[in-house]
Amino acid sequence: MADECFALKGSVVTTIIIELHTFDPADFVQLLQQKIGQAPSFFHQSPVIIDLSMVADISADALRQIISLCEDSGLQPIGFKGEQHAAAVAETPLALLPDTGTRAKSVKPTPAADTLSECSGKSAASEDSAPAEEEPSAVAVASRPTKVIEQPVRSGQQVYAADANLVVLGNVSEGAEVLADGDIHVYGALRGRALAGVRGDVTARIFCQQLNAELLSIAGNFILSDSIDPSHNKSAVQVALSEQSLQVKSLY
């Protein structure tokens, strides 16, 4: 009805998942600030989900402290995962999110990857808010339609190709974000963020004619600009996932 005061719509939001293994406040803050310092514009005010599924035991006080430390570092915690800790989460201001979400895969600490791992936990970029489904079959992947964007994607814009591949004929500006359940092709300069296979398709790939990206992600595995080999800067490349690590290779 036209006089309704609001409408409910689906959305795709890039979230950071911190997969906690142990919690020591000093180590947590040190590593968090170190990683944020590598890409301040990416992490600033970014929504964060804290995954507790790997933690044997943790108190509500510790969870509240984690929330506070994330907020003090400029992040925005939006919920916890880990149903075994439901009682502790209930004593915090955040919700317990269902474990059936987008597949978030930890990025192995190789030169081509960037994670919030080491002393206290791991992190993976997860394209949450798009409901996760079963891993796409070969038939489903082959039959995906293609969404074509003919104009440049400007800073602050987000383009999402649901159940489709995405083709951008122009540039993707710094601060812009392109997402697809399938592959992403950028025929101009890729300066913003590109996230392919956002519902967990590990076979998805990213292609671009001129790489200068802030972030690249496939099926929840991501790398930031400072982790990309400088030899690929402004070059035509393809990005694929191999053993949960992103590999960037020249196209020519």
pLDDT digits (tens, 9 = 90+) for 83-107: 999 999 999 999 999 875 444 433 3
Q: Which domain holds residue 177?
A: 138-250
Both 161 and 122 in one domain: the answer is: no
49 and 95 part of one domain? yes
Is residue 65 located within the same domain as residue 88? Answer: yes
- Within this chain, do residues 65 and 160 fall inside the same structural domain, yes or no? no
Q: Which residues of 174-203 are buried (b: 16+ CB within 10 A; e: fewer)?
A: bbbbbbbbbbbbbebbbbbbbbbbbbbbbb
Whether 241 maps to a domain, the answer reads yes
Residues 101 and 142 both lie in one domain = no
Q: Mind listing the pLDDT tens digit for each residue in 131-144?
A: 344 455 555 666 78
Q: Give the end of a domain, one of 126, 147, 170.
A: 126
Same domain, 142 and 172: yes
From 54-63, 190-199, 216-225, the region with the lowest mean pLDDT: 216-225
Quick one: how far is CA 205 from the chain centroid? 15
Looking at the structure, tell me whether residues 121 and 32 fall in a common domain: yes
State the virtual CA torsion across 225, 229, 230, 234 in degrees, nearest 10. -70
Boundary (domain end) residue, out of 94, 126, 158 = 126
Assess whether pLDDT exceeds 50 at residue 66.
yes
Whether the full predicted model's pTM is greater than 0.85, yes or no, is no
* Token code pair at residue 178: 């392109």
Task: Of 195, 156, 202, 159, give the one whose Cα is nearest residue 176.
Answer: 156
Same domain (yes/no): 111, 197: no
The answer to the question of residue 9 being in a domain is no
Q: Which residues on neighbouring strands pair with residue 148, listed in sequence order?
A: 167
Domain co-membership, 113 together with 19 = yes
What per-residue confidence (pLDDT) applies to 128?
39
Is the pLDDT reported for residue 33 higher than 80? Answer: yes
Q: Into how many domains does the chain fold? A: 2
Cα 252 versus chain centre, distance? 28
Question: Distance (Å, rounded) from C-alpha 196 to C-alpha 125?
Answer: 11
